[in-house]
């Protein structure tokens, strides 16, 4: 959860986050009706643009699902609102740290 963690040097996530990652992947696949299996999403690949190929409309859709499911209002910390979506692992970490339900 360190701010400095980069996807390349990130240590293996704790076991409970693996479960959360899969749960979030399942929510994304269901919300966007993607034709990939949740388990096939590379947890370190970008969700935005390259990688899973999500665009800003998808991101808004996921933001809604995340707010309903976990009680988190996503905020754009910087000008880059896709930051939180740099990978499934990062998103799951973010949710774990900020969830209220």
Partner 1 sequence: MVAYRAGAPSSARNFLADVLRVAAALPERKHVLNACNDRYRFTVAFAASLVANKVSLLPSTHTPEVIRQLTEFAPDVFCLTDDARCQIDLPRVRFPELVPGETVPWQQIEIEQDRLAAYVFTSGSTGTPLPYRKTWGRLVNCVRFEAQRLGLLDGRSHALVGTVPPQHMYGFESTVLVALQSGNAFSAGRPFYPADVCSELDSVPEPRMLVSTPVHLRTLLGADVDLPATDLVLSATAPLSQNLAREVEQRFATRLLEIYGSTETGQIASRRTAETVEWQLFDGVRLLTEAEETWAEGGHVEQPTPMCDVLEVTAADRFLLHGRLSDLVNIAGKRSSLSYLNHQLNAVPGVVDGAFFIREPDEGSSTGVTRVAAVVVAPGLDATGLTEQLRRRIDAVFMPRPLLFVDSLPRNDTGKLPHDSLRSLAAAAMKRT
Give the footprint of partner 1 on this chain (CB under 8 A).
Answer: 31-35, 49-50, 53, 55-57, 59-61, 63-64, 67-68, 73-76, 79, 81
> Tokens 């947890």 correspond to what residue?
43
**Which two structure tokens, joined as six digits, stand for 9?**
């040097």
Query: Minimal CA–CA distance to 29: which of 75, 63, 62?
Result: 62
Query: Minimal CA–CA distance to 27: which of 67, 57, 56?
Result: 67
Q: Closest distance between partner 1 and the C-beta of residue 57, in Å?
A: 5
Q: Which is nearer to partner 1, 15 or 39 (CB)?
A: 39
Calpha distance 22→45 (Å, rounded): 14
Q: Which is nearer to partner 1, 74 or 88 (CB)?
A: 74
Q: Closest distance between partner 1 and the C-beta of residue 79, in Å?
A: 6
Could you give the angle at the alpha carbon of 2 between the alpha carbons of 62 and 51, nearest 5°?
Answer: 40
Q: Which is nearer to partner 1, 20 or 29 (CB)?
A: 29
Q: Which is nearer to partner 1, 44 or 81 (CB)?
A: 81
Q: Closest distance between partner 1 and the C-beta of residue 42, in Å?
A: 12
**Which two structure tokens, joined as six digits, stand for 32?**
């966007």
């Amino acid at each position: 959860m360190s701010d400095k963690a980069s996807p390349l040097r990130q240590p293996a996530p704790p076991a409970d986050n693996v479960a959360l990652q899969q749960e979030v992947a399942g929510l994304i696949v269901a919300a966007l009706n993607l034709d990939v299996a949740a388990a096939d999403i590379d947890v370190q690949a970008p969700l935005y643009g390259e990688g899973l190929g999500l665009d800003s409309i998808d991101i808004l859709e996921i933001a809604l699902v995340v707010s309903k499911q976990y009680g988190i209002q996503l905020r754009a910390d910087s000008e880059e609102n896709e930051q939180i979506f740099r990978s499934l692992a990062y998103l799951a970490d973010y949710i774990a740290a900020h969830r209220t339900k």
